[in-house]
């Protein structure tokens, strides 16, 4: 599956000459086979289709389906449109790679990865893992763009795609486990911008059949492009973190395929010279071994992923489920709507996390990152949907009325951790009645995963916003049988 | 942070003092020359081939008439060229400010219609916005004053400077300028581990490219955090890249002048293409070379040397006893000191494959010991380099350099700077263009249309 000559790996001659120098003194760094970085390179290069277990196949197909649907819906957003115009006008038309939901629009491959990644994260509707990141959007757009690049008679098979996808997911998961800090809601760097480019680079390296050394260098090159501060989450720019993870991860792999080299110790812990650990407070890297004749234990097998039922930060889903229950109680009592005039007080018990604690969000991006907004929307409507974040919905006076009644507490036993947190909503009605509900595990969480029916329902709703029904159903079937698809072209065609 | 936006948007040509004009022209000249020479390197060629896959449009490439790229990619490859040999300017606090800014500005200029090209003064103004913003940001952190350990400074402040400069040149309003900074921050921050590798030049290339992208995205209305430079507990902004961080507003008083950092803190231009820390030990070693040659009347021979002691600051990534490639050699106290001991100087040629693999150099390298005296901090304003050679006969020759020629305390004369430029630019441009560039940059503030500058670079 080597690419055409444009990306055939080439070594620079001067570097080659350097390598011939022999040193009699002791080697000043560990032998390559002993480093964490090299072990990752060997893993990425060496993983084969036979390593993919049924559970891995099943779960990663679900991730792909959800990611595609979310991306297709996301192609209707303003931020996507902005990014697309930017790419079209700033770069020559290099009609190679497709854009989600836009038949007739093509971009150069890394830019297609960029805009599609922006689409996937544009509404904060994409999958979330533990430790926390949004793994699929950093990987799948890049892989599809690479597939578009390949000659017609040498397209990857569906299984090639699934393999590379899982390399990208697995590497992200392994990297996050190097730091305990990664398990909590982030404060410094937005995780998709830290591990996302690494996953994108790993996935593309695998799909491009790079050798272990090139795979290592791809990771190192990607590390120089990683790391966006949390301040840009909950802004219009957040989707670009995933867009850039896909784009820059792909670039890193392409540069590595041309022979660009970077630090061979990027994942290792070298005192005094920060590598990938620059992004973490605590950091303990471990090698990633692929035993020659055994299977590989993928993280996705032991730690499933969460798919969102509505487009907002994952932390919202607990309070929404709790608030929806309280809504039912109120409506039962009041036989009708929830009216702000009947409510005296709303108390939310949630984890302490500044960037999702917004009493009065001022735009759709902030609304997707507001405990208060999502709880009140669910109290009012009984649910939160894609429509809950339109301009009209956000500015409803009855919603504003409820928002002004909200208090927030951060109980000691409620950590900012997607595996351990809960969301509690307590409403005091005018007559003094107190209605309360607590959600420990929302429907869609990895402990209570969406059924295949629910997942497809979400996909149909999303994809159907931009694709005709035959293509929507075609995608459901194609992804379902992806591992048997000899050539991924049908998948690529249905996305436009 | 809107205050930064107002600064970037509001700075006008009248704010540029004579000192600022003079110093920034020197920076521009040096940066162009270094970039032109850098266009001969392998890493540049690699980056160019990479970008040409999505080619065309109107961005010019240093030293390559007939090669055009889309503008942000032109900024990228030219930035790679500038830093490809570690030959570009270095400031205090430490970063390489010009390479993150100038390639982006030239690419933006290429983008503009023929009848609305920026003037030379527009270019100088935007350039200084980019330099000033980088300097101001670095002063938010005490940690920025020392040789870096975590993030490579050009990758932290570089994109911010590129974004600021392009925002000014594009005449964005204050709010757009602020958002450009915030968008750029999401693309900042490369770990130090990639310094001293073939990928290091991409840090400057990407600073220019991604800074320019940020400004262009902001010009389309993309918004990001309005508090990116402020210190918000629990939500990291630009302070994510620093251990300590105390931001200050950057005011532009309505009717007064502005006090630019470049006026009080000049910049260092390198005399040879290696990490700045090398320049102290090279000057010291060159003096010792003269002493030895005087004693020995001839060459320096490894067989006559018993021991070489270097007293340098502690900094792991420029402490390499046996560098294995040109990138490592540019970041090795030992290599540079021994080259200067052997040859009496270090030049562009000292880093060729042939020069690096010389047996007599290897022999000297095996005699080197390194000490890190307490009074020698890893700080470009305070460090020194000492070279002590013990000859076979027992004689001890020593020299210490506190301020190398080219440091901001002992700046290159205009003659020396032009000599460096002619040598660099002459590697790829014909003599008329080389001389034309010297004259054009010298009179840049009087150039009504920057097209002549752009044309001479190819």
Residue of higher predicted confidence among B240 and A90: B240
What are A189-203's pLDDT values in tens digits? 999 999 999 999 999
| CB atoms B55 and A227 under 8 Å | no
Whether A22 has its CB under 8 Å from any CB of chain B: the answer is no
Whether B183 has its CB under 8 Å from any CB of chain A: the answer is yes
pLDDT of residue A136: 94
Average pLDDT over residues A8-17: 33
Average pLDDT over residues A30-54: 81
Average pLDDT over residues A203-228: 95
pLDDT of residue B43: 75
A442-446, B279-283, B299-303, B329-333: least confidently modelled range: B299-303
| CB atoms B186 and A240 under 8 Å | yes
Report the alpha-carbon angle B199-B159-B123, nearest 5. Answer: 115
Distance in angstroms (rounded) separating the CA atoms of residues B38 and B273: 10
| CB atoms A231 and B233 under 8 Å | no
For residue A267, whether the previous peptide bond is cis, meaning omega lies within 30 degrees of 0, is no
Kindly state the percentage of chain B with pLDDT values over 70: 97
Is B305 within 8 Å of B367 (Cβ atoms)? yes
> Residue A408 above 80 pLDDT?
yes
pLDDT of residue A32: 56
pLDDT band at B273 (very low <50, low <70, confident <90, very high): very high
> Residue B405 above 90 pLDDT?
yes
Residues 6+ apart with CB under 8 A from A75: A99, A100, A101, A102, A119, A466
A183: DSSP letter:
G
Average pLDDT over residues A461-488: 92
pLDDT of residue B1: 57
Average pLDDT over residues B217-222: 89
Question: Which of B149, B186, B238 lies closest to A237 in CB terms?
Answer: B186
- For CA atoms A363, A368, A374, A377, give the dihedral sign: positive
pLDDT of residue A92: 58
pLDDT band at B295 (very low <50, low <70, confident <90, very high): low
Kindly state the percentage of chain B with pLDDT values over 90: 68
Tell me the two tokens of residue A235. 């802004």
| CB atoms B236 and A231 under 8 Å | yes
Testing the interface with B: which of A82, A217, A227, A261 to mutate, by most B Cβ within 10 A? A227
Residue of higher predicted confidence among B146 and B242: B242
Instruction: List, in sequence order, every residue forming a beta bridge with A98; answer none if it has no partner.
Output: A106
| CB atoms B185 and A232 under 8 Å | yes
ipTM above 0.85, yes or no: no
What are A73-89's pLDDT values in tens digits? 888 888 888 888 877 77
| CB atoms A235 and B217 under 8 Å | no
b vs e for A258-267, b when ≥16 Cβ sit within 10 Å of the residue's Cβ?
bbbbbbbbbb
Kindly state the percentage of chain A with pLDDT values over 70: 92
Q: Which helix (H) or strand (E) holds B423?
A: helix B414-425
Whether B222 has its CB under 8 Å from any CB of chain A: the answer is yes
> Residue A20 above 50 pLDDT?
no
pLDDT of residue B233: 85
Whether A88 has its CB under 8 Å from any CB of chain B: the answer is no
What are B48-100's pLDDT values in tens digits? 776 665 555 788 888 888 888 889 999 999 999 999 999 999 999 999 999 99
| CB atoms B194 and A266 under 8 Å | yes
> Residue A37 above 60 pLDDT?
yes
pLDDT of residue A89: 72
> Residue A368 above 70 pLDDT?
yes
Chain A residues within an 8 Å CB radius of B195: 273
Q: Which helix (H) or strand (E) holds B388?
A: strand B385-391
Tell me the pTM: 0.87
Pick from A194, A126, A137, A145: which is nearest to A169 by CA? A137
- Mean pLDDT, rounded, of chain A: 87
> Residue B44 above 80 pLDDT?
no
What are A138-187's pLDDT values in tens digits? 999 999 999 999 998 899 999 999 999 999 999 999 999 999 988 877 78
Residues 6+ apart with CB under 8 A from A168: A135, A138, A139, A142, A143, A199, A200, A202, A203, A204, A206, A249
pLDDT of residue A28: 41
Whether B225 has its CB under 8 Å from any CB of chain A: the answer is yes
A179-193, B2-16, B107-121: least confidently modelled range: B2-16
Q: What phi, psi does A348 have (nearest 5°)?
A: -110, 130
pLDDT of residue B56: 53
Average pLDDT over residues B18-26: 84
Q: Which helix (H) or strand (E) holds B44?
A: helix B42-52
In B, minimum Cα distance to A223 occurs at: B190
Is A219 within 8 Å of A194 (Cβ atoms)? no
| CB atoms B191 and A223 under 8 Å | yes
> Residue A351 above 80 pLDDT?
yes
What number of CA atoms fall less than 13 Å from residue B256's CA on the CB side?
A: 6
In B, minimum Cα distance to A231 occurs at: B237
- If contacts are CB pairs under 8 Å, which of residues 136-175 in chain A contact chain B? none
b vs e for B101-127, b when ≥16 Cβ sit within 10 Å of the residue's Cβ?
bbbbbbbbbbbbeeeebbbbbbbbbbb
> Residue B335 above 90 pLDDT?
yes
Is A466 within 8 Å of A76 (Cβ atoms)? yes
What are B190-208's pLDDT values in tens digits? 999 998 788 999 999 999 9
pLDDT of residue B457: 87
Whether A11 has its CB under 8 Å from any CB of chain B: the answer is no
Testing the interface with B: which of A235, A313, A353 to mutate, by most B Cβ within 10 A? A235
Testing the interface with A: which of B111, B189, B211 to mutate, by most A Cβ within 10 A? B189
Average pLDDT over residues A40-44: 86
Chain B residues within an 8 Å CB radius of A28: 320-322
Tell me the two tokens of residue B49. 């081939």
Whether A187 has its CB under 8 Å from any CB of chain B: the answer is yes
In B, minimum Cα distance to A19 occurs at: B324
Whether B359 has its CB under 8 Å from any CB of chain A: the answer is no
Whether B348 has its CB under 8 Å from any CB of chain A: the answer is no
Residues 6+ apart with CB under 8 A from B33: B420, B421, B422, B423, B424, B425
> Residue A398 above 80 pLDDT?
yes
What number of CA atoms fall less than 13 Å from residue A441's CA on the CB side?
A: 9
Whether B325 has its CB under 8 Å from any CB of chain A: the answer is yes
pLDDT of residue B296: 59
Average pLDDT over residues A2-14: 34
Question: Which of B53, B70, B326 lies closest to A18 in CB terms?
Answer: B326
pLDDT of residue A107: 87
Average pLDDT over residues A435-458: 95
pLDDT of residue B189: 93
What are B364-380's pLDDT values in tens digits? 999 999 999 999 998 89
Testing the interface with A: which of B181, B186, B240 to mutate, by most A Cβ within 10 A? B186
Is A81 within 8 Å of A101 (Cβ atoms)? no
Report the alpha-carbon angle B49-B51-B57, nearest 5. Answer: 120
pLDDT band at A2 (very low <50, low <70, confident <90, very high): very low
Average pLDDT over residues B424-435: 92
Q: What phi, psi does A8 have (nearest 5°)?
A: -70, 135
Whether B54 has its CB under 8 Å from any CB of chain A: the answer is yes
Chain B residues within an 8 Å CB radius of A110: 54
Chain A residues within an 8 Å CB radius of B352: 14
pLDDT of residue B107: 95
> Residue A378 above 50 pLDDT?
yes
Q: Where are the beta strands (DSSP E) in B91-156?
A: none
> Residue A91 above 90 pLDDT?
no
3-state class (DSSP) for residue B371 = strand
Whether A19 has its CB under 8 Å from any CB of chain B: the answer is yes
Q: What is the 3-state secondary structure (H, E, C) of B296-318?
A: HCCCCCHHHEEEEEEECCCCHHH
A35-44, A165-174, B219-228, B382-391: least confidently modelled range: A35-44
pLDDT band at A8 (very low <50, low <70, confident <90, very high): very low
In A, minimum Cα distance to B238 occurs at: A229
Average pLDDT over residues A218-235: 92
Distance in angstroms (rounded) separating the CA atoms of residues A464 and A61: 19
Range picked from A267-281, A323-337, B361-375 for highest mean pLDDT = B361-375
Chain B residues within an 8 Å CB radius of A208: none
Q: Kindly report the nearest CA distance between residue A19 and chain B, in angstroms.
A: 7
Whether A236 has its CB under 8 Å from any CB of chain B: the answer is yes
In B, minimum Cα distance to A354 occurs at: B234
Residue of higher predicted confidence among B135 and A31: B135
């Amino acid at each position: 599956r080597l690419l055409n000559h444009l990306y055939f790996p080439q070594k620079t001659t001067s570097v080659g000459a350097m390598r011939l120098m022999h040193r009699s003194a002791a080697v000043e760094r560990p032998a390559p086979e002993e480093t964490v970085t090299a072990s990752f390179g060997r893993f990425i290069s060496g993983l084969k289709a036979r390593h993919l277990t049924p559970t891995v196949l099943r779960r990663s197909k679900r991730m792909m389906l959800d990611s595609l649907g979310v991306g297709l819906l996301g192609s209707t957003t303003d931020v996507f449109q902005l990014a697309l115009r930017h790419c079209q006008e700033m770069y020559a038309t290099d009609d190679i790679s497709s854009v989600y939901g836009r038949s007739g629009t093509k971009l150069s491959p890394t830019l297609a990865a960029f805009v599609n990644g922006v689409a996937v994260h544009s509404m904060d509707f994409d999958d979330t893992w533990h430790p926390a990141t949004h793994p699929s959007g950093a990987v799948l757009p890049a892989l599809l763009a690479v597939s578009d690049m390949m000659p017609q008679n040498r397209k990857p098979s569906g299984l090639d795609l699934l393999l590379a996808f899982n390399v990208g997911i697995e590497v992200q998961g392994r990297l996050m486990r190097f730091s305990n800090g990664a398990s909590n809601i982030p404060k410094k760097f937005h995780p998709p911008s830290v591990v996302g480019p690494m996953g994108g680079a790993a996935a593309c390296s695998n799909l491009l059949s790079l050798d272990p050394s090139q795979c290592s260098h791809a990771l190192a090159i990607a590390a120089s492009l990683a790391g966006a501060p949390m301040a840009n989450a909950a802004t219009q720019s957040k989707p670009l973190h995933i867009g850039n993870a896909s784009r820059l991860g792909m670039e890193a792999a392409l540069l590595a395929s041309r022979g660009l080299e970077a630090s061979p110790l990027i994942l290792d812990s070298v005192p005094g010279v920060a590598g990938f650990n620059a992004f973490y407070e605590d950091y303990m890297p471990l090698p990633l071994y692929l035993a020659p004749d055994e299977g590989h234990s993928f993280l996705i097998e032991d730690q499933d992923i969460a798919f969102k039922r509505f487009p907002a930060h994952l932390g919202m889903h607990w309070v929404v489920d709790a608030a929806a229950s309280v809504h039912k109680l109120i409506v039962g009592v009041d036989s009708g709507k929830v009216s702000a005039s009947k409510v005296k007080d709303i108390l939310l018990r949630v984890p302490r996390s500044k960037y999702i604690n917004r009493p009065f969000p001022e735009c759709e991006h902030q609304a997707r990152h507001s405990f208060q907004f999502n709880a009140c929307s669910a109290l009012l409507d009984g649910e939160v949907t894609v429509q809950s974040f339109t301009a009209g919905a956000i500015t409803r006076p009855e919603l504003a009325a409820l928002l002004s009644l909200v208090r927030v507490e951060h109980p000691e036993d409620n950590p900012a951790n997607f595996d351990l947190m809960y969301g509690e909503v307590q409403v005091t009605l005018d007559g003094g009645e107190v209605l309360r509900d607590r959600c420990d595990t929302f429907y869609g969480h990895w402990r209570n995963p969406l059924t295949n029916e629910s997942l497809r329902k979400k996909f149909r709703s999303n994809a159907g916003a931009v694709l005709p029904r035959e293509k929507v159903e075609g995608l459901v079937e194609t992804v379902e049988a992806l591992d048997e698809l000899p050539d991924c072209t049908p998948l690529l065609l249905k996305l436009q």
